[in-house]
Structures are given as structure tokens and as C-alpha cells.
Amino acid sequence: MRVLVLGGDGYIGWPTAMKLSAAGHEVMAVDNYLRRRLMMEINTPALFDVPNLQERARLWNEKSGKDVSVRIGDLDNWDFISSVFEEFRPDSIIHYAEQPSAPYSMLDRAAARLTLDNNLGATFNVIHAMNEYTPNAHLVKLGTMGEYGTPNIDIEEGWIEIEHKGRKGTFLFPRAAGSFYHTTKVLDTDMLWFYVRVWDLRVTDLMQGPVYGVATEENDNDDALYSFLNYDEVFGTVLNRFMVQAVAGYPLTVYGAGGQTRGYLHLKDALQCVQLAVENPADKGELRVFNQFVETFSVNDLASRVQASGKRLGLDVEIRNLENPRKEMEDHYYNPAHTGLLDLGLKPNILTDDVMDEMMQLTTRYKDRIVEEQIFRGVKWKK
């Protein structure tokens, strides 16, 4: 298939481009380097240098013999996105092209406004370009488990059947986002559901949990093909941050009581899930929702695993409970369904001790690159 990867320079975007290219698909990666620009603006560099997208594509071609086409531009610009769709005519569109950070969206009004304009503007233009140029294509949109919040009932896989006053109906599962970033993802889902109903589009919305790790089958220990590994609290995911903190001798930053529980998955599994969604498209007129995670952990669980791994590797890892800068429940019920991707053939990579130690050892290779001042800055949800 011709697969368009929007946000192809990102933490998951670039590994996706390699994964689908290796699987024989014709891939075009599109990005405007927003993540790189924001990282520079707030001084939060990744643990190691990441080549630009054109250079990554060149290196991948040298390694694999596979091509990834590259286009640089802003999806909020209609002239740009329409030219991409008109030229490439994708069979499948993978939409990662959003400001990806909850803490960034809570920094200040300007950051929140950028998140709103970028995320909703890009999604709106993607939908319209798809309808105009490739109405039978399949859109795979990256959502987030954070859309659901932490309700005191089981979280269904996107949809829930409700009986009310003797009548039944099926509805999108209620959303209760915990940050403004997550709120834009909820609005994405509502927008997608509207246009699916009106224009009979094919859409898969992936409610993804936090992802960890950088090693995949495609990068194969080639540092130049690794994705971003952010360790700051703005762009870093929690397990990646904890591993860097442990290697640096910095106490693990557990917010509040540490009982916050979410569904997690390795980067390898995120790629598996996306490939399964692409190669098994939704039906015309269907908004299909998958809850994309493998295991659930509390923050305390993750901190304990990092501490235990550190001990096995000769590190003295301290855990420190900080006043929680976020507005969230620290002790709650959490039982989300996640059978859809397993039914399609997902083979989970479990967070074993060996996997944990391998990731810690990779992080240790870059210990000299860690800048302690960039680890924590106390971004608060409420000033």
C-alpha cells in the first residue's frame, strides 16, 4: 500500500516509517519539525542527537535498501497538505502530526493555544484532504488512553452500550481528559466521528497508553536510526524519564502518592499495533476504536522496577515522592478493555527484568549526555 505517515519525524513516527517500509509498503513521511522547535525553545534536548528526517531516510536506505519519501511542511497549511495528498494518493494515512505533550499544553496560554491550533487544525485538514483526494483511504489516528480519564467503571474499547429508561443505545465511551493536550485528542475523536457519519470515511482511532524504549527490529542498535529519547518532564514519557534519572543518580520523581495507574507498551508494540491497523482497515463508514496498550502499571510499580533494575546493574536508585503538580487522582480504579488488537494478532513484548535491564544499559551508554537541570522544572496544572 501507499502509506502516508504524518508526523514522520516523531518519537513513534520515524520508527513507523521504517517498520512499514521494511514490510514492503511505499511510505512517505511528512513533518514540520514542530517537536524539534519546541524542544529548542524550552531547552529540552533528547538524550542523544537525532538526524533530520531527510538524513534519517538516507541512512535507512543505506541500511535496508528501502526508500522513505520525505516532505517537510505544515499540515495546517491547506496548499501544502493538498499537494501532498494529490501527489501521493495514499491508501492509508497514519496521523501522528500533533503537539504530543500534556505538560507542554499546560505551560501557559501561548502553549495551550499552539496545542489547540496545531492539533485540531491538522486533524481538520487531514480529514478534508482525505475526503477530497482519497475518499476510500483508511485513516489511522493516534489518540490516547488519557481521553478516558480514570472513571470508577471498566473502560470499554471506545464504545459503550447504555440502557436508559427502557431503551438502549451505543455511544462513544465518556471522556474526561486530564490535560488540555488530552482534551484536544477528545475533540479529534468527536470531529472524526462526525465526518465518519457524514462522509462514510474509514477511520481507526488508537487510544494509546504511554510508550517506552527506543530499540526496534529496524534500528537494530544503530544509534543514528534511534528515535528521540526525551528525559525531561515535558516531552519525556514516565518510564524513559525514570531510567535516565536512575542512571544520573537523580531521585525518581514520583508525583504524589504514586498510585496513578495507566496502560503501557513498548515502542515495538506500538509499531505492531499501527501495522495491524493499517493492514486490516476499518470498514467504510466505521469509526473503529482500539485501546492500545499491553500492561497496566502504577507510577510506584514503574519506580520499583527501575530501582530493582538499577540494583542488578550496580546503581543506587532513590525514589522520592514529590508534591503532585498535576490535578489527578492518585488512587483510583482502572480496568480498561484491550482485546481488539490482540484479536488482530498483536504479540506483546512484556516488561520483563531482562527488557528493563537492556533499556537501562542503553541509557547508561549516554550517561555523559544527561543534564540534570533539564530533568525537572515543576510544570503545574494550576498556577
**pLDDT of the residue at 91:** 98
Task: Please list the alpha-helical segments (H only) found in 145-201.
Answer: 180-199
SS3 258: coil
Q: Which residues are identified as catalytic?
A: 144, 181, 185
**pLDDT of the residue at 377:** 87
Task: Quote the CA–CA distance of 17 and 218 in Å, as a whole number.
Answer: 10
Cα dihedral 130, 135, 137, 138 sign = positive
**pLDDT of the residue at 179:** 98
Q: How would you write the pLDDT of the chain (383 residues) with one tens digit per residue?
A: 999 999 999 999 999 999 999 999 999 999 999 999 999 999 999 999 999 999 999 999 999 999 999 999 999 999 999 999 999 999 999 999 999 999 999 999 999 999 999 999 999 999 999 999 999 999 999 999 999 999 999 999 999 999 999 999 999 999 999 999 999 999 999 999 999 999 999 999 999 999 999 999 999 889 899 999 999 999 999 999 999 999 999 999 999 999 999 999 999 999 999 999 999 999 999 999 999 999 999 999 999 999 999 999 999 999 999 999 999 999 999 999 999 999 999 999 999 999 999 999 999 999 999 999 999 988 999 97
Give CATH for domain 2-374: 3.40.50.720
Task: Quote the CA–CA distance of 222 and 364 in Å, as a whole number.
Answer: 16
**pLDDT of the residue at 362:** 95
Task: Quote the CA–CA distance of 196 and 268 in Å, as a whole number.
Answer: 30
Task: Quote the CA–CA distance of 253 and 299 in Å, as a whole number.
Answer: 10
What DSSP line would sit under 305-331, residue for residue? HHHHHHHHTT----EEEE---S---SS
Task: Please list the alpha-helical segments (H only) found in the chain.
Answer: 13-22, 34-41, 53-64, 78-88, 102-105, 109-133, 180-199, 238-248, 267-279, 299-312, 340-344, 353-364
**pLDDT of the residue at 102:** 98
Task: Quote the CA–CA distance of 111 and 121 in Å, as a whole number.
Answer: 15
* CA 33 to chain centroid: 16
The distance between the two most distant Cα atoms of the chain, rounded to a whole number of Å, is 65
Task: Quote the CA–CA distance of 49 and 59 in Å, as a whole number.
Answer: 14
**Beta-strand relationship, 92-95 and 295-298:** unpaired
**pLDDT of the residue at 244:** 98
Give CA angle at 274 (269, 277), nearest 5°. Answer: 125
Between helices 53-64 and 13-22, what is the axis angle to 10°?
A: 30
Locate the domains of the chain by residue range.
Answer: 2-374
pTM of the model: 0.97
**pLDDT of the residue at 191:** 98
Task: Quote the CA–CA distance of 201 and 287 in Å, as a whole number.
Answer: 8
